[in-house]
């Protein structure tokens, strides 16, 4: 009986060590994923003042492709 208890204690100790190393590992992972860049915020695209939607790249004309807002209506060199 005593031998069994000692065996169980050993197992528990091994499991505890495993759990501890695992939690350390996952903490490291969490720290490294936090560094992930926010690519969406890197380069803010111009937004239409009318509908506030982002204007698609390379398709910028005199008016919004979404709602047809005419940029020159607000004197807009801001959208160049």
Q: Which residues bind Zn ion (CB under 5 A)?
A: 48, 50-51, 64, 66-67, 69
Q: 57: Cβ–Cβ under 8 A, 6 or more apart, which residues?
A: 45
Least CB distance to Zn ion at residue 72 (A) = 14
Of 66 and 79, nearer to Zn ion (C-beta) is 66
Of 18 and 47, nearer to Zn ion (C-beta) is 47
Of 19 and 51, nearer to Zn ion (C-beta) is 51
Overall size of the chain counted in residues: 80
- Alpha-helical regions (H) of the chain: 2-34, 39-42
């Amino acid at each position: 009986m005593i031998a069994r208890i000692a065996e169980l204690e050993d197992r528990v100790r091994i499991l505890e060590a495993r759990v501890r190393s695992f939690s350390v590992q996952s903490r490291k992972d969490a720290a490294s994923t936090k560094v992930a860049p926010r690519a969406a915020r890197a380069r803010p695209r111009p937004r239409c003042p009318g509908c506030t939607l982002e204007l698609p790249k390379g398709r910028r004309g005199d008016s919004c492709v979404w709602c047809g807002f005419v940029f020159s209506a607000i004197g807009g060199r801001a959208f160049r």
